Structure 1
Amino acid sequence: MTISANTKTHYETLGISNTASVTEIKTAYRSKLLSTHPDKTVKNKTNASNIIPQLKEAYSILSDDTRRKEYDEDLEQSFKKLGFIASGDGLDNVTLDDFTFYEEDEMGWFKKNCPRCHAVESFVMNENDLEGHGTEDGVGGLEILVQCGDCSLWLKVHYYDLDEEDDQASQHTSN
């Protein structure tokens, strides 16, 4: 299996997570079929004829444990070749330095283009997000999870509390 940065995974086709149970897969498959089937919908009959084979393929692979395991392994290898899944937890690890900083409306914004779907500035965080939602990363810094605004890619962003660093620097200079 070869996957490009613009290819939807079977999970994305069905609108489920990669940890979905067989019951969740079956429910999502039926729901998608009903919502896209040309006999059930008036508009987008052409689009429906394209998606139904994709839905059937996704369901047939993900509902079979052996085929799903093989698919997941192939998917992981394909993502690695594209530069995705840099850590064992399935998330790309990046730093705040990988983002472009903008000052807008007296607020600092961090933006980054998506490496998967190539959407421009689809990863967006502001200073309040970093201050209020970061968790300790276990190595003296903080981390926050951010999702692309256009696709399902998540990034784990590592950073340091700049206010804390500024406080420590001013204490050293005053001593």
Structure 2
Amino acid sequence: MKAHGSFYDILGVSDDSDLIAIKEAYKRKLLAYHPDKKPLHHHMEDKTIVNRIQEAYAVLSNQRTRAEYNEGLTQQSKRAGVVSDGEGLDMFDLDDFKMVQEEPPMDDYSNSYSRIYWEKDCPRCSTEQGFILTETALSEQGTKVTETGESGRYEVLAQCNSCSLWLKIIYYDLDEVDDTFLHG
């Protein structure tokens, strides 16, 4: 056994184990790795492992500290891009992105319109502007969501331009939302 990993891994229990299972695993691991039960050359490594076993038990056997620990694991997973909506994708609202409006150059006489896009730093690899969504991408790649009953709701999938993280981005077509609201 290594002295790292989640506290659940250290004790060899699942994250939904009850207190009895955690206590039994703690006793079993403590007996297996206690320095008094091993030859001298394993002594230092086993002390570290025993300390981690005791730390894991102290956290997981207390309802409050276990809840805090689980929340920390969830946040760590979110930063790593692992938090799921059931489909294995992180969900964000387009409002979580920064809207950028680029004006055409002053010397451009071709009646160019300003360009609008949305950007977000990647929550996994921290690449600045890891996600960029254009109006074209939203209109051509967005899928209307009908099962929620919300009018004008769309979603689009996007991948970070630097790592393998995919996000599901929710947004609304305000013309449809306003129309439903006014005539609903």
Q: TM-score, normalised by structure 2?
A: 0.46
The alignment's TM-score, normalised by the length of structure 1, stands at 0.49
